[in-house]
Structure 1
Amino acid sequence: MGVKLIEKCESAYTYPLLIKNLLKNSLIRSPDQEIIYRDQMRYTYRDFHIRVAKLANALAGLGVKEGDTVAVMDFDSHRYLECYFAVPMMGAILHTVHIRLSPEQILYTINHAEDDVILVNSELLPLLEPIKDKIETVKKIILIKETDQNPETAIQFDGIYEELLKDASDSFDFPDFDENARATTFYTSGTTGNPKGVYFSHRQLVLHTYGLMTGLCAFDSQAVMTSADVYMPLTPMFHVHAWGMPYLFTMLGNKQIYPGRYEPEMILKLVMGEKVTFSHCVPTIIHMLVNSPVINKVDLSNWKVVIGGSALPRGLCKAATNAKINLYSAYGMSETCPLLTVAHLKPHMYEWDEEKQIDIRCKTGLPIPMVDIEIIDPLGNPVAHDGVQTGEVVARSPWLTQGYLHNQEKSEELWFDGWLHTGDVGSIDAEGYLKITDRLKDVIKTGGEWISSLTLEDIISQHPAVSESAAIGVPDEKWGERPIVLVVLKDEFKEKDLEDELKKVFMEEYEKGNIPKYGVPDRVISVDSIAKTGVGKLDKKVLRVQYAK
């Protein structure tokens, strides 16, 4: 007989899942709440709504229409938040440009996304100047500047952001349209070849916002969010919509703080001065903060911080806990919008000691509602959820990108067999927690056996002399690959030769039965710094080339 579809009254309104409908609540519940940019700008949600309308009118005046693409090159700011709403609400597409790519890669993304307009911060003009004559589709460039000084540049501008808003009408009739319309595009930093474009619809971003709300705000856990939290992102706004969090906290009408460039003293000043209670970032940012001399002078006991982008090392979690930061992991990727899991403690774990709780905080986490996670073997078969057996992590959810922009072959690889393939290796335990053990491409294969680079990093991160670490496989004639570990030592240990002592740490783990003998690194090398990608992840592709010999 089949399913029966609902009958629709001819006059009934079909409410579309559009970004504009995320914005309405803040004007009703918290019109006088503040949005703040560094120590330079403070305004209310009432002002924000007006500026969103003004920006839409300014863009329309420059010829932007439905289906056009507007690129933004800026630091984390109130202006970026305005673009998050105004551009897609017009029916245009927001391209959040990855400003940490090389100029040639940025050129590729601008041309590949077929940008029509670029909004660019004056401090980022050096990225545009060498490529300006190779840009193919851009018709207008708008300058963002924070001082009265005009930049010295050969680029011709079609307007200045604040001046355009000043002269624009403060009312805009944002239309209804198909909720499956593309709202955003951005590009992965990639490991080989050109960056890949991912894209999301209005429907997906709205559903992801509600997924965030249920995942972060609804469950009894060690870190529940409400509209009373003070939010400051520490993930770049060009990267996966700052994990989608600005959409959530704008919908809830929270006080929001935007820090601009990431500077430890400014971040801590804002955290303390504005009483920030929630942030999210990659481990590099927390590492930078806990190693800042200012850390011992401030009270961070009310600060909840979600770590994503890379695994949370146990040693870093301990250091943050010592600084009273409520730190825990979440998991996702560019292709997943991004949130899939959150490492919340279950209520029966609240009485556990700190060491046991850190085990949970450092896991990849529990799937949030409307996310299906599975672990599969090389033949595509699910493996047991026993916390031991590992395989590739695959996912399904209504907010996963449906492909890569203009790249059908890679899209089919991503979605092989109807599951999104993350390229991560992991396990799921009996409590339902996912634990990523490595990236497929980062697993070290020695003598036909695998050893997790994340396991090695986690072990060495707990040594008191180690500030940062990275484990990689290097070519070996006999075994194919052998593991080595790179460490950045804390300042007070930098003059010491600790290679033998640090290597002994791994031997002790072998003797305890925690790693196999072949997992003991051949070398532990002290280095001044470790290569990272544009969003602060360890760049193991570069490290493998650098240390291949």
Structure 2
Amino acid sequence: MDKQVRLVTQSPSAYSYPLLLKQLLHTPIIYNPDQEIVYRDSLRYTYKDLYARINRLASALTSMGVKPGDTVAVLDWDSHRYLESFFAIPMIGAVLHTVNIRLSPEQILFTMNHAEDKVVLVHEDFLPIIDAIRPHLKTVETYILLKEGPEKPATSVPLAAEYEEMLTQAVDSFDFPEFDENAKATTFYTTGTTGDPKGVYYSHRQLVLHTLGMAISLSGFSGPGRFQSADIYMPITPMFHVHAWGVPFVATVLGAKHVYPGRYEPAMLLKLLQTEKVTFSHCVPTILHMILTSPAAKDVDLNGWKVIIGGSALPRGLAKLALERGIQIYTGYGMSETCPLLTLATVQSHMVDWDMERQLDIRTKTGLPVPLVNIRVQDVVSEKEVPKDGRTPGEIVVRAPWLTQGYFKEPEKSEELWGGGWLHTGDIANVDPSGYLQITDRLKDVIKTGGEWISSLYLESLISQHEAVSEVAVVGIPDEKWGERPLAMVVPKPDFKDTLSGDSLKSFLQKFVDDGSVSKWGIPDNFVIVDQIPKTSVGKLDKKVIKKRVAEGIK
């Protein structure tokens, strides 16, 4: 008989330390209590103030009847209030629902009913949405106002309290309970190509482990782009979206300075970058593109700003532009279902002296798996692991301690997500001999033409290098002969608005055919020049809408 593993013997008086979010606050309060947290250009306070406000928020919510297991929704821009909610709501045993404010009112209604929200913290900008859907909200009992100025907005929403007044009246000490670390802490909704949004959820244990894993990944390895306690952090990824990728938790543990920009406006973002001397951020490519192409950005010194790009592939052209401005840019990869961090395109210490073009090869990759993440790239049909040759494609499947355990109230979709005991990402990638992943497409977006697979992401990266191209999206469109053919939707830079043509783009791409980077069949037959490209609620290229527009003949 095989010997059994030996479990540790626990003394009757030994304390079993639960991995709860409250444990993340111990270090910064001791290590850097006077460090600042800044909201736009209107408010700043210290970590000591943050801790007191978290206690006050917990006291206020419990006095309103919020109990363990209840769900509290937040509709807000990126703010200090959101940071306080990240901690206070889960720490009382309730569930934080970070509502995606960019969804349609109908989708917001669905998510709030599906999550069974009881209390809603709502910014004054979103009162009209709540007012419109309120008759159909089934479980909400209390609304709390989040306002900016001194005036109370006119609304028919029955507001039980105003956030700041509520905190002022609450006590600044709260005895946060201890409970099972597997208790649900947060939930939010991810939108797919069809059907209603799907609810993902995370436990205290998962969020704590993700925070520690990300902290090690960002600060523990040598190379550019590191995030440490001396950095000044400003998220440019919405806090409603996977907890702003979990980085606010990391920044808090490190005791770093936080800067919250509220609503994303290029002028305000650039102002905060300058005045607060921000050194570390993260965003999707479209947001960085918006910042870099803003006229106000020409006179701003961005040298030394460290930026992780996620959500979509980092086009080589955008990465090159960022590096030329002195930005330490690189890719991170994950999904709503993965909390989200899985990989980072880490520039290792021996690569630091490489020239720009060679570094771009690394910075634009999907990256290396971070600690505690086990990734396989497997053949879609056989499910066998593909060779690490940098060419053979397969689907990324993953195991890590912080992956969502399913979709809320969706057992069948949950089992589909977790087929075979691995979380299926739906991303197609290859792995090179050094272990770097490179996503070549979404399983649903890969273009199949004449028996060949063509990567829309790779074509986008090639086209983005043309001097006249500002943004590009490539999709597959039906073709009677070849099954599908690639089509490129392109936004020209202002100076090339009247001169960029499909023929010039085809000529540009021919050099990549000549050097073997892409087959001649990979060159799009059609280039559509447009003023803007449809985006999703979190700033990704919305290829579903692009395909629909093309099918309808709307250019």
Q: Would you say same fold, with TM above 0.5?
A: yes
1:409, distance to aligned residue in structure 2 (A): 0.6
1:150, distance to aligned residue in structure 2 (A): 2.0
SS in structure 2 of the partner of residue 108 of structure 1: helix
1:512, distance to aligned residue in structure 2 (A): 2.0
* 1:425 aligns to 2:428 (yes or no): yes
Q: Which residue of 1 aligns with 2:213?
A: 211
Q: Which residue of 2 aligns with 1:131?
A: 133
SS in structure 2 of the partner of residue 158 of structure 1: strand
Moved more, 3-12 or 150-159: 150-159
Q: Which amino acid counterpart does residue 333 of structure 2 have in structure 1? A: Y
Tell me the distance in 2 between the aligned counterparts of 1:333 and 1:413: 16
1:189, distance to aligned residue in structure 2 (A): 2.4
Tell me the distance in 2 between the aligned counterparts of 1:246 and 1:224: 15
Tell me the distance in 1 between the aligned counterparts of 2:305 and 2:510: 37
Please tell me whether the aligned partners of residues 33 and 253 of structure 1 are also in contact (alpha carbons under 8 angstroms): yes
1:497, distance to aligned residue in structure 2 (A): 4.4
Q: Which residue of 1 aligns with 2:49?
A: 47
Q: Which residue of 2 aligns with 1:320?
A: 322
SS in structure 1 of the partner of residue 187 of structure 2: strand
Moved more, 100-109 or 295-304: 295-304
1:247, distance to aligned residue in structure 2 (A): 0.6
1:149, distance to aligned residue in structure 2 (A): 1.7
Tell me the distance in 2 between the aligned counterparts of 1:28 and 1:315: 44
Q: Paired residue for 2:511, among 508, 513, 517?
A: 508
Please tell me whether the aligned partners of residues 97 and 238 of structure 1 are also in contact (alpha carbons under 8 angstroms): yes
Q: Which residue of 1 aligns with 2:417?
A: 414
1:193, distance to aligned residue in structure 2 (A): 0.7
Q: Paired residue for 2:439, among 436, 441, 445?
A: 436
1:250-288 Cα deviation digits (max 9, x unpaired):
111111000001111111111111111100000011101
Q: Paired residue for 1:492, among 491, 495, 498?
A: 495
Q: Which residue of 2 aligns with 1:84?
A: 86
Q: Which residue of 1 aligns with 2:64?
A: 62
Q: Which residue of 2 aligns with 1:445?
A: 448
Percent identical among aligned pairs is 60
Please tell me whether the aligned partners of residues 330 and 342 of structure 1 are also in contact (alpha carbons under 8 angstroms): yes
Q: Which amino acid counterpart does residue 483 of structure 1 have in structure 2? A: P
1:219, distance to aligned residue in structure 2 (A): 0.5
1:478-502 Cα deviation digits (max 9, x unpaired):
1121111010000011011422101
SS in structure 1 of the partner of residue 159 of structure 2: coil
SS in structure 2 of the partner of residue 159 of structure 1: strand
Is there any run of 5+ residues in structure 2 with no aligned partner, and where? none
Q: Which amino acid counterpart does residue 190 of structure 2 have in structure 1? A: T
1:151, distance to aligned residue in structure 2 (A): 1.7
1:413, distance to aligned residue in structure 2 (A): 0.6
Q: Paired residue for 1:470, among 457, 469, 473?
A: 473
Tell me the distance in 2 between the aligned counterparts of 1:40 and 1:222: 32
Please tell me whether the aligned partners of residues 53 and 84 of structure 2 are also in contact (alpha carbons under 8 angstroms): yes
Tell me the distance in 2 between the aligned counterparts of 1:524 and 1:505: 13
SS in structure 2 of the partner of residue 109 of structure 1: helix
How do 1:30-429 and structure 2 match up within 5 A?
A: 30-377=32-379, 378-429=381-432
Q: Which amino acid counterpart does residue 303 of structure 2 have in structure 1? A: S
Tell me the distance in 2 between the aligned counterparts of 1:10 and 1:432: 46
Q: Which amino acid counterpart does residue 147 of structure 2 have in structure 1? A: K
SS in structure 2 of the partner of residue 502 of structure 1: helix
Q: Which amino acid counterpart does residue 520 of structure 2 have in structure 1? A: K
Moved more, 340-349 or 457-466: 340-349
Q: Which amino acid counterpart does residue 372 of structure 1 have in structure 2? A: N
Please tell me whether the aligned partners of residues 492 and 500 of structure 2 are also in contact (alpha carbons under 8 angstroms): no
SS in structure 1 of the partner of residue 108 of structure 2: helix
1:541, distance to aligned residue in structure 2 (A): 0.5
Q: Which amino acid counterpart does residue 355 of structure 2 have in structure 1? A: D
Q: Which amino acid counterpart does residue 99 of structure 1 have in structure 2? A: I
Q: Which amino acid counterpart does residue 145 of structure 1 have in structure 2? A: K
1:314, distance to aligned residue in structure 2 (A): 0.1
Q: Which amino acid counterpart does residue 251 of structure 1 have in structure 2? A: V
SS in structure 1 of the partner of residue 304 of structure 2: coil
Tell me the distance in 1 between the aligned counterparts of 2:219 and 2:18: 24
1:431-480 Cα deviation digits (max 9, x unpaired):
11111110011111112221000011001100000000000011111112
SS in structure 1 of the partner of residue 252 of structure 2: helix
Tell me the distance in 1 between the aligned counterparts of 2:536 and 2:160: 33
Is there any run of 5+ residues in structure 1 with no aligned partner, and where? none
Please tell me whether the aligned partners of residues 243 and 337 of structure 1 are also in contact (alpha carbons under 8 angstroms): yes
Q: Which amino acid counterpart does residue 516 of structure 1 have in structure 2? A: S
Tell me the distance in 2 between the aligned counterparts of 1:264 and 1:247: 25
SS in structure 2 of the partner of residue 105 of structure 1: helix
Tell me the distance in 2 between the aligned counterparts of 1:288 and 1:43: 29
1:538, distance to aligned residue in structure 2 (A): 0.3
SS in structure 2 of the partner of residue 120 of structure 1: strand
1:302-344 Cα deviation digits (max 9, x unpaired):
2100000000000000111111111110000000000000011
Tell me the distance in 1 between the aligned counterparts of 2:153 and 2:542: 33
Tell me the distance in 2 between the aligned counterparts of 1:381 and 1:431: 20
1:215-253 Cα deviation digits (max 9, x unpaired):
101001112221101000000000000000011111111
* 1:529 aligns to 2:532 (yes or no): yes
Please tell me whether the aligned partners of residues 506 and 521 of structure 1 are also in contact (alpha carbons under 8 angstroms): no
SS in structure 2 of the partner of residue 116 of structure 1: strand
Please tell me whether the aligned partners of residues 122 and 144 of structure 1 are also in contact (alpha carbons under 8 angstroms): yes
SS in structure 2 of the partner of residue 32 of structure 1: coil
Please tell me whether the aligned partners of residues 295 and 323 of structure 1 are also in contact (alpha carbons under 8 angstroms): no
Please tell me whether the aligned partners of residues 119 and 141 of structure 2 are also in contact (alpha carbons under 8 angstroms): yes
SS in structure 1 of the partner of residue 243 of structure 2: helix
Tell me the distance in 2 between the aligned counterparts of 1:350 and 1:36: 33
Please tell me whether the aligned partners of residues 503 and 523 of structure 1 are also in contact (alpha carbons under 8 angstroms): no
Q: Which amino acid counterpart does residue 295 of structure 2 have in structure 1? A: P
1:295, distance to aligned residue in structure 2 (A): 2.0
Q: Which amino acid counterpart does residue 424 of structure 2 have in structure 1? A: H
Please tell me whether the aligned partners of residues 189 and 533 of structure 1 are also in contact (alpha carbons under 8 angstroms): no
Tell me how large the CA RMSD over aligned residues is: 0.9
Tell me the distance in 2 between the aligned counterparts of 1:507 and 1:246: 44
* 1:480 aligns to 2:483 (yes or no): yes
Tell me the distance in 2 between the aligned counterparts of 1:57 and 1:283: 40
Q: Which residue of 2 aligns with 1:8?
A: 10
Moved more, 476-485 or 326-335: 476-485
Q: Which contiguous aligned blocks of 4+ residues in structure 1 show a shift greater than 3 angstroms?
A: none
1:372-392 Cα deviation digits (max 9, x unpaired):
111000221100011111100
Tell me the distance in 2 between the aligned counterparts of 1:207 and 1:193: 32
Tell me the distance in 2 between the aligned counterparts of 1:512 and 1:459: 13
Please tell me whether the aligned partners of residues 468 and 500 of structure 2 are also in contact (alpha carbons under 8 angstroms): no
Cα 1:513–1:396 change in 2 (3 A) is: same
Q: Which residue of 2 aligns with 1:517?
A: 520
Tell me the distance in 2 between the aligned counterparts of 1:294 and 1:431: 40
Q: Which amino acid counterpart does residue 238 of structure 1 have in structure 2? A: F
1:511, distance to aligned residue in structure 2 (A): 2.3
1:190, distance to aligned residue in structure 2 (A): 2.0
Q: Which residue of 2 aligns with 1:26?
A: 28
Tell me the number of residue pairs that the alignment of Structure 1 and Structure 2 aligns: 549
